[in-house]
Amino acid sequence: MHIRISLPQQTLELHDAHGALLRRYPVSTARNGAGEQNGSFCTPRGRHIIRAKVGAGETANTVFVRRRPTGELWTPQLAEQFPGRDWILTRILWLSGKEPGRNRLGEVDTMRRYIYLHGSPDTVAMGTPGSIGCVRMRNQDIIELFDLVPVYTPVDIVEFGVEEELEFMAAGK
């Protein structure tokens, strides 16, 4: 299994070991764009792995703070009580960078930046950047992905889309 997240297309693709596309989901990456620097609120690029899976068996819309369920379930009423909260719901796939100096160690460490693939309220738009660094997904999508992928699944976060890659390959580059 292998995951590729396209920043321009705002999609997450799950591929099997032979490269065949198994699933494609709309996502929402960082409002601030791509970047690796700690404190940038950007989505880090490059090669990563899923270092940890959090939330197995939790109910959809379970609210997490610091990777722990709070005992709350997200509702519009709860959102009204906490209007500034960055909602992390349902499941968490915690990413770790694999490229020292780019997205691993020091001031560019994806894991120390707490970059996740996670569920979000159904009211959050997908297909457009809006997070503070993480990759947001619909709750049903993150549940499905969580159940399909093991820890250490490779995750590439790229600045091209499928069509662009095919055109690039067709041009012999």
Q: How many domains is the chain built from? A: 1
Q: What is the rounded CA–CA span in Å between residue 124 and residue 23?
A: 21
pTM over cut 0.75: yes
Residue 37 belongs to a domain: yes
Residue 169 belongs to a domain: no
Distances (CA, A) of 40 to 46, 74, 75, 134, 143: 16, 27, 29, 12, 28
Low-confidence ranges of the chain (pLDDT < 50): 164, 168
Residue 93 belongs to a domain: yes
Boundaries of domain holding 67: 27-155
Residue 161 belongs to a domain: no
CATH number for the domain that contains residue 58: 2.40.440
Q: What is the rounded CA–CA span in Å between residue 122 and residue 138?
A: 6
Q: What is the rounded CA–CA span in Å between residue 169 and residue 28?
A: 27
pLDDT of residue 161: 81
Residue 8 belongs to a domain: no
C-beta of residue 74 within 8 angstroms of C-beta of residue 90: no
pLDDT of residue 84: 87
Residue 12 belongs to a domain: no
Residue 104 belongs to a domain: yes
Residue 135 belongs to a domain: yes
Q: What is the rounded CA–CA span in Å between residue 170 and residue 76?
A: 48
pLDDT of residue 165: 52
Q: What is the rounded CA–CA span in Å between residue 58 and residue 67?
A: 12
Distances (CA, A) of 46 to 70, 85, 87, 107, 126: 32, 28, 25, 15, 22
pLDDT of residue 163: 57
